[in-house]
Structure formats: structure tokens, C-alpha cells
Amino acid sequence: MSSWIGRVIFCSLQPILTSADRRRLKGKAQLLEPVLKVGHNGVGEPFLASVERELALHELIKIKFAAFKEERHELAERIAASTNSALLQVVGHVAVFYRPRPKSEG
């Protein structure tokens, strides 16, 4: 009988970053302005599509929580999980996300 039976296997597509990578990316993020704002409409499918688009363009983005400020940590984790990005940090009402562009074959 296999030892893995009955266990949950978790496979994340989120990028795995070393502490040096995180430190470097946080430094780069300090110079960025937020590209999106979470407003009264919340984090729905249209907003997540916008996050996907911005991550594809920029890799490293900031999102400002203009609304839902009390839930910003939970929403930031949800955004990261939904977009397969790494949540680097939440400082104040701003969250920083990173997702590397796929390497092109060729």
C-alpha cells in the first residue's frame, strides 16, 4: 500500500522565490506606483482579469486598496492565488505582486 494514499497533494503554480529574490524585488517595487486600485466593486473576475493583464505586461506590480482596507491581507492572498503570482508584501494599503513572464521557446 502506498504511503501517499489519503494525503492531499498541493501543487502551486506560484513562483518560488529565495529571500534574496524577495529582497531585490521589494527594492524595485519601492519605485513603482500602484497600477490598480481595489474599489467598491471588490475583487471579482473583471478585476482579476486586469491583474492578469498587468502582470503579463510588467511582472512586478502594486495594487492599492482604496476600499476593503480591513480585508486587504486576505484579499491580497486571494489575488495571488487566483493569478498564480507571489505576494511579496502588504505595506499600509498597498500590496506588491510578482509573476515572472513565461520563458519563450526559441
Buried b (16+ CB within 10 A) or exposed e, 50-85: ebeebbeeebbbbbbbebbeeebeebbeebbeebeb
pLDDT of residue 105: 57
Question: pLDDT for 5-18, tens place per residue?
Answer: 444 444 457 788 89
Mean pLDDT of 86-106: 89
Burial of 33 (0-12, 13-18, 19+ CB in 10 A): exposed
Which domains are assigned to the chain? 19-98 (3.30.110.60)
Averaged pLDDT for residues 74-88: 96
Residue 8, pLDDT score:
42
What would the mean pLDDT of 34-50 be, rounded to a whole number?
95
Do the beta carbons of residue 72 and residue 42 sit within 8 Å?
Answer: no
For residues 35-62, average pLDDT: 96
pLDDT at 46 over 70: yes
